[in-house]
Amino acid sequence: MVVGAGFGGLTAAQHLARLPVQVTVVDRKNHHTFQPLLYQVATAGLSPGEIAAPVRWILRSHSNIEVLLEEVRDFNLKDHTIITNEQVLGYDYLVIASGASHAYFGHPEWEPLAPGLKTIEDALEIRRRVLLAFELAERQVSAGVPDFPLNFVVVGAGPTGTELAGTC
């Protein structure tokens, strides 16, 4: 059983598929997001469909892999089961590759002001906010309001933050 269809989960499933075993991949989304290009969706350089591929299509060449569109709610390690919204699934071995989330360093009040960039939904929200800021700035100029520069702040200097800042 592999929980998660990101880079880690897909790689694990593909390696396990070479063995004489049945592999089940469980993910709450039916597509794999190519996260290194999320910044291009956020800056309107790419559409979401250009960085998302169906999980079943990616794993199509492996007849011993089953893909389930389910959200895992809990694990019972003693009973070797995972609990989803729809069912309880048993497993012999479990790989948890459910990804990571962004952190606000103990300040959850920052979340509404600073969206993370880990999903297509995050990228679309950033795109919406950036384009809206330009629209509002254009309206102010048209209304004769003094011209104030737009400022965007990117927190994080990892690959995604650096690419996002460089594109803006």
Catalytic residues: 163
Q: Are 145 and 67 contacting, i.e. CB atoms less than 8 angstroms apart?
A: no
Report which of 1, 168, 165, 6 is spatially closest to residue 97, judged by C-alpha positions: 6
Taking the CA atoms of residue 152, residue 34, residue 23 and residue 12 in that order, the dihedral angle to the nearest 10 degrees is: -80
Give 2-29 as a 3 state SS string.
Answer: EECCCHHHHHHHHHHCCCCCCEEEEECC
DSSP notation for 42-87: HTTSS-GGGSEEEHHHHTTT-TTEEEEE--EEEEETTTTEEEESS-
